[in-house]
Amino acid sequence: MSARTGPVEEAPASGVGRVVVWSPDYLSYRWSPQHPMNPNRLELTMDLAQGLGLMEGVEVVRPDAASDVELLRIHTPAYVEAVKHAGSRDAGDLPPEVATRHGLGTEDNPVFPRMHEASAILAGGTLAAAQQIASGHARRAVSIGGGMHHAMADWASGFCVYNDVAIAISWLLDNGFDRIAYIDIDAHHGDGVQHAFFGDPRVLTISIHQHPATLWPNTGWSSEIGAGAAEGTAINLPVLPGTVDSLWLRGFHAVVPAAVAAFRPQIVISQCGADNHREDPLADLALTVDGQRAAYLAMRDLADRYAEGRWLAVGGGGYGLVRVVPRSWTHLIASVLDREIDLGTATPEAWREKAHAIVPSVDPPTTMGEAADTSFMRWDGPGGTPETGVASTDRALTRIDSAVIATRRATFPLLGLDPEDPRD
């Protein structure tokens, strides 16, 4: 991506709505003082976006909490009642069977006051973003508080209580949409969303994540392809620890665009977990902020090309509270708004001071990028060709290509595509 002359390029006057869904109530989703999913990452993101002038003139939608009726699209009545009950009493007073039955009160998912209310507002945010797009008011919407992709129908999982994305997809399916593409780039497999729609051919779920043999939730093998009439609509590309920008982007472009093109979605939904970054403390991938930004732009382009520009983006994982998440998701917001931020732009001094005050042990970043090289060689079939310089001695390249061909062979024929042909 070429350098810009200023920190923010204004969006063209196209008349196409772009909205940011945000509520200060998102910050109430706080598990415990020591928990890695700290809402400071959201606060610092919005402060950074505002400090760079990114939010000037932008429509900000403040959502309502998702109602019980909406939560019950995905979650069971017993689970919703358990969440309400757990958040209204002392954690030590929680019956042991609740943790066993519903995953509440565990180390990953400790009980906190008003847990239901805090979780419902995140779900309401993603639902509001979907409704903005479905109504035609906006073509693009972003809610960085969303992306709780691990939550299952009747239990909390992986820091996630209510599966906001699955709820929004369910609502879209009942409101005029019958081809929805969900792309998940979180380091952890998007298991909850995949599980919710594993047998539904109207929903394409694509997840690019750290290999399940090396990272929780230990799912997302290339052989997980969907069930029944939905075979081929669950696509998983597991990548090994240490995967860098160039290899990750090679894998992305070898799988995602062709699958999206074949599926012909009416909307693209992106879960943009930032824990695929090389500094994330809970995963082992090696992307940079620059590589994450390249992924956002690629998904935006897919929405423009195949879904008439309809793009809903949410956050997700990401535990680099100061150096990673705020920059990454500020770039995400900028991508949604068509206000790209130059990677060399300085972070505002006032923002750095606030970030340092919140986390004194971490030096805040001084620029919006990391001077990384995000170029990559495109995949060109099993084994490559001499023209690309792909050699079997390049073990990292061989491994990403092995993952690509396994995923393509598992799913592409079911989408009417040739898994061996790089033109597909």
pLDDT of residue 88: 81
Choices 1.10.10.10, 3.40.800.20, 3.40.50.720, 3.40.190.10: CATH for 17-415 = 3.40.800.20
pLDDT of residue 56: 96
What tokens does 259 get? 């699958």
Does the pLDDT value for residue 205 go beyond 60?
A: yes
What tokens does 232 get? 């081929």
Catalytic (active-site) positions: 150
What residues contact residue 150 under an 8 Å CB cut-off, 6+ apart?
157, 158, 159, 160, 163, 188, 190, 191, 192, 217
Cα dist. 121→55, 85, 154, 239 in Å?
A: 21, 17, 18, 33
pLDDT of residue 78: 94
Confidence label for 92 from pLDDT (cuts 50, 70 and 90): low
Residue type, 381: G
Q: Using alpha carbons, select from 163, 143, 258 the residue that is nearest to residue 206.
A: 258
Cα angle, residue 24 at apex, residues 18 and 25 outer, rounded to 5°: 115
Mean local confidence (pLDDT), 243-260? 98
Confidence label for 97 from pLDDT (cuts 50, 70 and 90): confident
If one compares 98 and 175, the residue with the highest pLDDT of the two is: 175
What integer best gives the mean pLDDT of the chain? 93
Does the pLDDT value for residue 192 go beyond 50?
A: yes
Does the pLDDT value for residue 161 go beyond 90?
A: yes
Instruction: Give me the residue spans of the domains in the chain.
Output: 17-415
262 CB burial (10 A radius; 0-12, 13-18, 19+): middle
Does the pLDDT value for residue 384 go beyond 60?
A: no
Does the pLDDT value for residue 391 go beyond 90?
A: no
What residues contact residue 216 under an 8 Å CB cut-off, 6+ apart?
158, 188
What tokens does 22 get? 């945000």
Strand pairing partners for 141?
19, 312
Q: Please tell me the pTM assigned to this model.
A: 0.93
What tokens does 249 get? 């982007």
Confidence label for 7 from pLDDT (cuts 50, 70 and 90): very low
Mean local confidence (pLDDT), 89-108? 77
pLDDT of residue 169: 98
Does the pLDDT value for residue 385 go beyond 50?
A: no
The per-residue pLDDT for range 278-328, each reduced to its tens digit, is 999 999 999 999 999 999 999 999 999 999 999 999 999 999 999 999 999
Contact (Cβ atoms closer than 8 angstroms) between residue 26 and residue 42: yes
